[in-house]
Amino acid sequence: RTLDSLGPLGSKTVIVRCDLNVPLATDENGAKSITDDGRIRASLTTIRELREAGARIVLISHLGRPEGAPDERFSLRPVAARMAELLGAPVGFVDETVGEAAAAAVAALSDGDVLLLENLRFNPGETSKDDAARGAFAAQLAALGDAFVSDGFGVVHRKQASVYDLAKLLPSAAGRLVAAELEVLERLTEKADRPYAVVLGGSKVSDKLGVIAHLIERVDTLLVGGGMVFTFLAAQGHAVGASLLEEDQLDTVRGYLEQAVSRGVRIVLPTDIVVAESFAADAAHEVVPADAIESSSFGAAGLGLDIGPDSAAAFAAAINDSATVFWNGPMGVFEMAAFAEGTRTVAQALTDTEGFTVVGGGDSAAAVRALGFADDAFGHISTGGGASLEFLEGKSLPGLEVLA
Ligand code: 3PG
């Protein structure tokens, strides 16, 4: 159900679940700043449309993973300020989610006003595994509005009160961001132009097992970088020094490598690695062959922090040869300049290729923006990390299921 199914929304109070979970940095004086506002910008289309329709808008979101109680470090207050700048209109903020102050702030809204409530996860009911606890919190949220718009794509894979239970209590619909994200991801799952390449990175292979198993049956090329690559290299029998390694996944990864061969899927692993003496921005580092990581001057103590230049060039060539590319997860520790080149080269290749490119994930999106790439240089930048991976995995996502 899309926004249009809700009928005229003038003077109606509409609760909009956004994913305003943005990365924050705190300076030495304790002042917080938003380091990537992509998720705030992505939420504006729906908000603008609702304002034009004369709705009274109550935004709800989580930020980070506080433990069910107020915690100033995870306050959404800085997000309200940034949203007001981007929207060019005031965005009210109230430092509770449900309760008297929240209800009074909602009741004071006029047509077209926007109010952001405090972090949903300050309330234990939001993420509770207990249906009754979640339901009770959802009922408190529902009491604040006349209709519900689900637009937090990054969180639709979570069965949480504001994502799932609330949608059952009010007339509900998907917002414009959720609809746009689905259109792109459906294109990838149902009618991707071939050759189709997926680039996976990030630190943990265990987070990506489901998606790898699913993609091996569907893609032409799987390029693997990031911290998870060392488990692949170890599965091939290579020593990886002190690099990140998930020993308990070695057999699974070996299975994927064999399956790829039998299915004719090309798995491209790096052939060279940037190995560092320690995990530090100014650590000494060298490029060594991926099958001889311990040959660096740091011996078995060296740790791989990026794919090497030959690998980055090979990844770029494979990306250029593809008609569709999905990328999730940085190739190295891009936050440190010395280990950002692999991620930069892959991002550059995605922007150069004529194929349709999708960047999935909060981290990958933050990485390309931090490296100076413009959003419109890519076919689509998804606001969802876990959500886009679970969608590609073919899983049923609770936040979408409930709107069907
Ligand atoms: C994300 O950053 O992927 C979403 O905001 C979901 O956050 P979560 O993983 O803490 O549920």
In tens, the pLDDT along 181-202 reads 999 999 999 889 999 999 999 9
Is the CB of 158 inside a 6 Å radius of any atom of ligand 1? yes
Q: How far is the CA of 142 from the centre of ligand 1 (A)?
A: 22
User: Distance between CA atoms of 108 and 110, rounded to whole angstroms?
Assistant: 7
Nearest alpha carbon, ligand 1 atom 3: 385
Instruction: Give the ligand 1 atom nearest the CA of 160.
Output: 11
Domains 3-177 and 192-392 share a fold: yes
Is the CB of 36 inside a 6 Å radius of any atom of ligand 1? no
Is the CB of 362 inside a 6 Å radius of any atom of ligand 1? yes
Q: How far is the CA of 270 from the centre of ligand 1 (A)?
A: 29
> Please, which pLDDT band fits residue 217 given cuts at 50, 70 and 90?
confident
> Which ranges in 143-208 belong to alpha helices (H)?
176-191
**Predicted local confidence at residue 19, as pLDDT:** 98
Could you state, in order of their start, the residue ranges of all structural domains in the chain? 3-177, 192-392
User: Distance between CA atoms of 131 and 39, rounded to whole angstroms?
Assistant: 29
Contacts 24+ apart (CB under 8 A), 293-302: 293/233, 293/238, 293/239, 293/240, 293/241, 293/243, 294/239, 294/240, 294/241, 296/241, 298/241, 299/241, 300/239, 300/241, 300/242, 301/241, 301/242, 301/277, 302/241, 302/242, 302/243, 302/275, 302/276, 302/277
Is the CB of 386 inside a 6 Å radius of any atom of ligand 1? yes
Of 276, 302, 273, which Cα lies nearest the Cα of 288?
Answer: 273
Superfamily the domain 3-177 falls into: Phosphoglycerate kinase, N-terminal domain (3.40.50.1260)
What residues are annotated to the active site? 39, 204, 362, 386
Binding site residues for ATP, as ranges? 208, 304, 335, 361-364
**Predicted local confidence at residue 133, as pLDDT:** 98
Instruction: Give the ligand 1 atom nearest the CA of 361.
Output: 3
Q: How far is the CA of 158 from the centre of ligand 1 (A)?
A: 8
Nearest alpha carbon, ligand 1 atom 7: 155
Is the CB of 67 inside a 6 Å radius of any atom of ligand 1? no
Q: Is the pLDDT of residue 210 over 90?
A: no
Q: How far is the CA of 21 from the centre of ligand 1 (A)?
A: 7
User: Distance between CA atoms of 369 and 81, rounded to whole angstroms?
Assistant: 21
Q: Is the pLDDT of residue 362 over 80?
A: no
Is the CB of 19 inside a 6 Å radius of any atom of ligand 1? yes
In tens, the pLDDT along 55-82 reads 999 999 999 999 999 999 999 999 999 9
Residue type, 387: A
pTM: 0.91
In tens, the pLDDT along 134-165 reads 999 999 999 999 999 999 999 999 999 999 99
pLDDT, the chain, mean = 96
Spell out the CATH class of 192-392: alpha beta
